[in-house]
Structure 1
Amino acid sequence: MLKRTYLLSSIALFVLPMTAHAQEAPQPDDAAAANDEIVVTGTAGGGINRQDAAFAITSINSDAIDRAAPNSTADLFKVIPGVSAESSGGQNGANIFVRGYPSGGDAEFVTLTVQGVPFFSPPTLSFLENTQLIRIDETIERVEAVRGGTGALFGNGQPGLTVNFVQKEGGRDFEGLVKASITDYGDLRGDMLLSGPFGENTSFMVGGYYSSGEGIRSPGFTAEKGGQITGNIRHDLNKGSILVFARYLKDRGQWLLPIPVIRDGDKVRQFGNIDPGTGVLAGPETRLAVLPDGTRTDLADGRGADLINLGTNFDYEIGDGFQLRYRASYLKGDADTTGLVPASTATTADAYAASLGSTVGSLTYVNGGQAVAGSQQVIRAGTWIVRKQIEDFTNDLAVEWDSGNNKFTVGAYYSDFSSNDQWNLGNVHLLTAENHGRLLDLTLGNGQVATNNGYTQGSFFNVNAAYDGREYAFYAVDEFQITPELRLDAGLRYQNYKATGTIENNSSVDIDGDPDTLYDNGTAVLNGTFRNIAYKKGAWSWTAGLNYDFSSSVGAYVRYNRGNTNPFFDNLRDGIFVSPRVDNFEGGVKVRTDLVSLYATLFHTKFKGLSTTVITDGAPIASVGGARSTGVELEGQIRPVDNFSIAFSGTWLNAKYRDFFTDGGATDLSGNRVQRQPKWQWRVTPAYDIPFGDDGKVSLYSTFSYVGDRFSDTANVQSLPNYFKIDAGISVDVNRALSFAVTADNLTDKVGLTEGDPRQLGGGSEVVNARPILGRSFRFSAAYKF
């Protein structure tokens, strides 16, 4: 069990000597060139000019965040080349894919950090991807994202995508912001920020948000509610600094799941009255339920988190050329999920009865009892509950020696994390296939009772488990400026991973012993017996990169890295003990002038020991093997005239499975395209500023984005057609204090699919379940700075 005192004692260790060392700290040079973009993610020390970095990194400042107008934390990642971010699941429950890394969903190869330290070491667990644990708000200064490259050395050593959230800090003057926003579908949000000095060498920042509403896919009740508050205190020492930060998040939103749509080749049409952009099966009749085992549920609980995150950054010069760096984070809380998950495609009640070997005897509404015709379109959907109590203590201690042209860093990383899980999956209702589906009761013509209070089935999979994991790592990095133009960096990391768990077993029973009451046959129940899992393994990772500056404006780099990840708790529970290994080769060109900024990267990645798991027919089904991907990433901005810019990003990706097997090794999927990741995707954002008065400005911007065709499944049977989407916005800075903005998401109300139904594998019929992007919406906001 983790102890809260871990982090508190770590902070106290460095706070105590502060009074002895406090002096007037040197202030940053305000005359630094505006285009010297310093990034800290993926580096051993205090940062590097992006133009000198021998790895692919994207930096998103607060203005770019505003123009991206993300609907969720994961939605911001759409601006990062090489990344496919599906935020159609709502505020939480995103699927994020990186550079062809094979994955079935969630965010398996994405590490999130705050101030350079991971706040939950496992990048993902089933029903938990880490964007669920943090929100974008006004306290964020910028977001940095490293793809591949040095990510295998730092943090938790995950070699895919590392995203670092850098907080705003207080300055010499008191400053603040209050902001209010409302959407055209009625959701409200308020943001605030306050920062300033807290003594001669100390500053503070505090801010956050609160929001409430039904969401764009309104279920007829408040489904989006909660907020986040973040604060930090920085104290400058004579030879260093300490930053202590804290964040409390209590927020939940509706878990948006596939809905029925009609597929006509590559065209997608509306099914019945379920609008692809705003429709949802959940509604007032399914919100509150008593499951067959007596558990009470509320779909308004949705998916979210209730947690606290504490952390510290400590930097201190311990001797001539020697720098001590310490990063720590402690997180504890709940990350729960409640959702209405489709269990079948839409069909008529007559066809459903025929699939049970009979005809419709009687079909009635559960609420009201009125008779329903057998021609009624129906769908089966289950109330799934996943409860997770998570905890994590992570710290990273490094010593850096800087001797002129050479900088050598050694460090140690330790993380202790746990997850206690209680799942109840299944609990399938028979519903009318319509917006806000209504509960139905069905008795078959042969006398068998197919439903009980709308339930056709009880639980089909339960989990009662307690998992613990620990990671120890040691790393060494050397950065050598060989000549003024040529820079070499190289490093290695050894990581040891240990995981244990205790899991209660399931039994399948007929609850009442009557085979003619179909609704409780084959119900999964926890049976009071347990099994243990244990895993332990160590692995080496390494990387080397060369960067050459042809001039102050043009540079190029090459890099190789090998990285490793470990099987997650869910893999071990399902008997999958493979450890993914990633070999990545990349090279890039960087151009930065007054006219244009361009970052182009070519990469080739080889994967071994990968697994993807989908819960199908009541049990996890795994596919295991390897893959290879080759791609090109482009990112940049053109500034042809004053006040006008065109930002762009794009990816071409060729990713295919190699020696990749499913069905227990019976089916070889080698040569198939890696699921859910398009060959082509791109974004173009023109923006024009119109100054007026002394401090006024009108900004107009729009984003044109394209996502190419993909396959929803590893077998490449469920195709997802390409789509083109337009967003737009206008902001007005009346003066330095007052501003207004309007943003439009999916301006043309385009229907684009991000996934098929992972629980209904195969080609399906004309009516299929899929998760479309969100429909057209507008957000209006007003802000006052002081």
Structure 2
Amino acid sequence: MIRGLTIGSAAGALLVAASATAQTTGAAQEADSAQRAEPDKGLVDTTEPQGDDVVVVGTAGGGTRRQDAAFAVTTLNNDAIERAAPNSTADLLRTVPGVMAESSGGQNGANIFVRGYPSGGDAQFVTFQFAGTPIFAPPTLSFLENSQLIRLDETVQRVEAVRGGTGALFSNGQPGLTVNVVPRIGGSEFKGFAKGSYTDYDEIRGDAWISGPLGGDTGFMVGGYYAQSNGIRDPRYRAEKGGQITGNIHHDFDGNSFVEVYARYLNDRGQWLLPIPVVSNDGKISEYPGFDGGKGTLNGPETRRTTTLVGRDVDLAEGRGAKVINTGITFDYELAEGFRFRERTSYLGGHADTLGLVPVAAPVSASAMAVTLGGAGSTLTGLSYVNGGGAVSTGADTQVLRAGIWEVRKKISSFVSDTALEWKAGPNKLTGGVFYTNYTSYDVWALGNQVLLTGTPNARLLNLTLTNAAGTAQQATLRGFTSGPAFQVRAHYDGEDTAFYAVDELEITPELRVDGGVRYQRHSVDATLQTSGPTVNLDGNVNTLYDNAVTLFGSPRTIRYRDNAWSWTAGANYDFTRSLGVYVRYSRGNSFPQFDNLREASATNIANKTGLAQRAEVDTYEAGLKLSTQIANLYATVFHNKFDGLATTTLIDNVPVSSNGGAKATGVEVEGALRPFAGFSLTAAGTWLDATYRGFFTGNGTIDNTGNRVQRQPKWMWRVTPAYELPVGGLRPSLFATLQYTGNRFSDPENLQTLPHFYQLDAGVSVDIGERLRLQVTGNNLTDKLGLTEGNPRIIGGQGSGPILARPILGRSFRFSAAVNF
């Protein structure tokens, strides 16, 4: 951390870059502060996003009017977030065009894909910021993506999301999607808010915040939430539990300068939702007999607490979540007329663990499972429940499956410093800065640990005996376990990135602005680690099949990786009027290999920066139209990107398997709002995407997927949200609904696991009673649609027809809430 502070302070000697598209920084900052401290109109801000909205994401820190931004950016105010009724932080990103967000994994464990960038899962090209600073510098580590480290609650004022464009220069240099969560700040009046909510799946949640002055130019805000439930997919124990508290103090100096200090504590966990059995028939998906596709889960009381074959006690109620503290400071000061200094510093530390029940393959008969476990010619001789009940009455015909008890422990930290100087003289503005981050992860993994289960919701543990082809009796399980740990990791990673950036913006005429910028980044990783090595037969008995191949740790080894690269961008913005403008932009961005890829890369790969150790390059060309009036807003973007050097690993049968190559994508993103008369609005967003692989190989280089569609990303996505509000006396009722379409996709790069298109309908009604009280009901997935977001990512190839494993969206649910402001 001392190194970070030294570098961050030294950056004050550099010329630094302002946002490529900002107007005067003072005006932007003043508008942003006004937005965040504005008194509430009723319970939420009922205005739709306007061109005058100030956005900070995608800039060097000063902010810019959205209508002036020469890049694709989406803003969501408090009211838009409320109407989206997201089930998780990642779920909100469904509203952003060009983004495919899969939140079917629960509160955590989302998969987020951007603009055809090839990725196997998690959120490799998505960075989350809080108050303009990255929460955790690496966008994704295995079993940890950024949205796992933050929750949306009523302390959030707005969310900003920039795609491509200037994102490759600022912050951590994310060329994909950067999402900035902007908290409320205190103003000149004391205000407060409290809300209680309850769902039809018995979730109880409370939200509250309070803000006010600490002096003439100083304000505070503090608030958060707490919630608990079994979850929509009920495992019959308390699977969802936790909360978050956020506080900040904001002080304004004279001359459009300010300092803001914040702290946020998150302690929240939830069930890691994974694929369940469904039935595929000629591309049509239906529920597996006895298994509710929207609410069923394999997790249950019998699998909650287990002791693995090597003696590790695991409680799946811990699920997937985070227990972290995030603190930071933002200092923005005008040193002299036209000369400004900025510093953004943050620290995050804590734990982000993942424990889950990971299914291997779809249910089969017990007799078929005997062959799988004992080899060809094996026959079933016994099937019984582990926890009482004796022999299973249906015997050989019983539908069974295997699932792994996966345990991943991570202790993480991240320090970030972003320091900049801005100089504005006449029509020219020059900004330059330095970005520094140091981040660590202490990992302990134990994957495998497979158990035999009934193919039913809240599955029961089974023991199985068999006779092999040689006529020898064999015990296939012990307390339900068919195997011990198969893939293990014990590692300490240390990453460091230092970047210098500079941007120049020139206003040629009042209507025409051009900008250009560069970023130089140096990336380094050091690690000491052990992964799986030889296997042993724990008891020395070959006829106890469950422990014949238990992995041990291999020899310790080290990783030392160094790389650097330049990124750059150039753009132009032309305003026909204050409400109508166009822009064009080119950018080159880079994505460096992180801990997990380097863990699996060979020493030769690391030395030569090839294979899993190579850096990915992204070229993006885009052009946009922006229209902002009192009646309508329209933002349309056409883009084309080329992606080279993707390197990632996927766990196939508990063995890391590499994928390497590139992709290209062309797309159109449209979003807008129409307000034809008072009280009515119609917002919409849509994406058309043509994304295919090129020179992309999976299966450790054995399968060429060139020409296949990029996995998990549909050609068509759209959503439409009408809303109508009609005051009646002292009441203000409001109706709103969202219809969303997700087109056909493929779950795998080989395009053998089809995910059919589906529609999802959400709706709600709220009533404001006076200026203080709001009652609201929202419903998600009202038609209880069985829409798939994932197939079986732990195999290569198709799953055929009949029973398969897949992960559907969550089933129909309702939330009832009452809120009061004061």
Distance in 2, matches of 1:716 and 1:388, equals 33
Q: Deviations over 1:523-571 (max 9, x none)?
A: 11224x2011111011000001101111222111100000001001000
Amino acid at match of 1:366: V
SS in 1 for 2:596: helix
Amino acid at match of 1:493: R
- Report how far residue 722 of structure 1 moved: 0.4
Correspondence 1:157-168 to 2 at 5 A: 157-168=173-184
On the 8 A contact 1:6/1:393 being kept in 2, the answer is: no
* Match among 379, 383, 387 for residue 363 of structure 1: 383
Identical positions, percent: 56
* Match among 293, 308, 331 for residue 291 of structure 1: 308
Distance in 2, matches of 1:681 and 1:361, equals 51
Correspondence 1:611-630 to 2 at 5 A: 611-630=647-666
Question: Which residue matches 1:21?
Answer: none
The 1:282–1:4 alpha-carbon spacing in structure 2 relative to 1, beyond 3 Å, is farther
| Residue 376 (1) aligns with residue 392 (2) | no
| Residue 263 (1) aligns with residue 283 (2) | no
Question: Which residue matches 2:720?
Answer: 684
Larger displacement relative to structure 2 (112-121 or 212-221): 112-121
Question: Which residue matches 1:324?
Answer: 341
* Match among 433, 452, 459 for residue 455 of structure 2: 433
Distance in 2, matches of 1:415 and 1:598, equals 37
Amino acid at match of 1:368: G
SS in 2 for 1:540: strand
SS in 1 for 2:474: coil
Gaps of 5+ in 1: 14-24
On the 8 A contact 1:45/1:400 being kept in 2, the answer is: no
Runs of 4+ with deviation above 2 angstroms: 2-7, 25-35, 354-357, 662-667
| Residue 204 (1) aligns with residue 240 (2) | no
Question: Which residue matches 1:728?
Answer: 763
Number of aligned pairs?
769
The 1:298–1:748 alpha-carbon spacing in structure 2 relative to 1, beyond 3 Å, is same
SS in 2 for 1:548: strand
* Match among 551, 556, 560 for residue 524 of structure 1: 551
* Match among 630, 647, 650 for residue 683 of structure 2: 647
* Match among 45, 50, 71 for residue 87 of structure 2: 71
- Report how far residue 4 of structure 1 moved: 12
Question: Which residue matches 1:401?
Answer: 423
TM-score, normalised by the number of residues in structure 2? 0.92
Question: Which residue matches 1:19?
Answer: none
On the 8 A contact 1:751/1:772 being kept in 2, the answer is: yes
| Residue 462 (1) aligns with residue 498 (2) | no
TM-score, normalised by the number of residues in structure 1? 0.96
Q: Deviations over 1:391-446 (max 9, x none)?
A: 01000000000112111101001000000000000110000000000000001034
Question: Which residue matches 1:150?
Answer: 166
Correspondence 1:743-782 to 2 at 5 A: 743-765=778-800, 766-782=802-818
Q: Deviations over 1:310-335 (max 9, x none)?
A: 01110111122100010011000000
On the 8 A contact 1:650/1:680 being kept in 2, the answer is: yes
The 1:343–1:642 alpha-carbon spacing in structure 2 relative to 1, beyond 3 Å, is same
Distance in 2, matches of 1:172 and 1:470, equals 41
- Report how far residue 85 of structure 1 moved: 0.2
On the 8 A contact 2:613/2:647 being kept in 1, the answer is: no
- Report how far residue 693 of structure 1 moved: 2.2
Larger displacement relative to structure 2 (501-510 or 669-678): 501-510
- Report how far residue 505 of structure 1 moved: 3.6
| Residue 504 (1) aligns with residue 540 (2) | no
Question: Which residue matches 2:566?
Answer: 540
* Match among 326, 333, 337 for residue 309 of structure 1: 326
On the 8 A contact 1:183/1:777 being kept in 2, the answer is: yes
Question: Which residue matches 1:195?
Answer: 211
Q: Deviations over 1:151-202 (max 9, x none)?
A: 0000000100000011100011000011000000101100010000011221
Q: Deviations over 1:439-495 (max 9, x none)?
A: 000010340110011000111100000000000000001111111111112100000
* Match among 701, 707, 710 for residue 665 of structure 1: 701
- Report how far residue 345 of structure 1 moved: 1.6
On the 8 A contact 2:129/2:178 being kept in 1, the answer is: yes
Distance in 1, matches of 2:341 and 2:300, equals 55
Distance in 2, matches of 1:602 and 1:238, equals 42
* Match among 43, 48, 73 for residue 57 of structure 1: 73
On the 8 A contact 2:61/2:132 being kept in 1, the answer is: no
Correspondence 1:576-655 to 2 at 5 A: 576-655=612-691
Distance in 1, matches of 2:723 and 2:54, equals 24
SS in 2 for 1:692: coil
The 1:34–1:667 alpha-carbon spacing in structure 2 relative to 1, beyond 3 Å, is closer
Distance in 2, matches of 1:452 and 1:701, equals 54
Q: Which has the higher contact order (CA 8 A, sep 6+)?
A: 2
- Report how far residue 259 of structure 1 moved: 0.3
Question: Which residue matches 2:197?
Answer: 181
Distance in 1, matches of 2:204 and 2:719, equals 28
Cα RMSD of the aligned pairs, angstroms, is 1.8
Amino acid at match of 2:396: G
Amino acid at match of 2:553: L
- Report how far residue 6 of structure 1 moved: 5.7
Amino acid at match of 1:700: L
Correspondence 1:112-131 to 2 at 5 A: 112-131=128-147
The 1:321–1:342 alpha-carbon spacing in structure 2 relative to 1, beyond 3 Å, is same
| Residue 348 (1) aligns with residue 365 (2) | yes
On the 8 A contact 1:683/1:705 being kept in 2, the answer is: yes
Distance in 1, matches of 2:616 and 2:4, equals 34
Amino acid at match of 1:574: E
Amino acid at match of 1:390: I
Larger displacement relative to structure 2 (666-675 or 29-38): 29-38
SS in 2 for 1:65: helix
Question: Which residue matches 2:521?
Answer: 495
The 1:5–1:539 alpha-carbon spacing in structure 2 relative to 1, beyond 3 Å, is closer
| Residue 233 (1) aligns with residue 233 (2) | no
On the 8 A contact 2:782/2:813 being kept in 1, the answer is: yes
On the 8 A contact 1:505/1:531 being kept in 2, the answer is: no
Distance in 2, matches of 1:307 and 1:387, equals 14
Larger displacement relative to structure 2 (510-519 or 702-711): 510-519
Distance in 2, matches of 1:327 and 1:343, equals 45
Correspondence 1:92-107 to 2 at 5 A: 92-107=108-123
Amino acid at match of 2:437: S
Gaps of 5+ in 2: 13-28, 39-46, 602-611
* Match among 437, 451, 472 for residue 415 of structure 1: 437
- Report how far residue 665 of structure 1 moved: 2.4
Larger displacement relative to structure 2 (146-155 or 317-326): 317-326
- Report how far residue 369 of structure 1 moved: 4.8
Distance in 1, matches of 2:137 and 2:30, equals 35
The 1:402–1:668 alpha-carbon spacing in structure 2 relative to 1, beyond 3 Å, is same
- Report how far residue 26 of structure 1 moved: 8.6
On the 8 A contact 1:417/1:468 being kept in 2, the answer is: yes
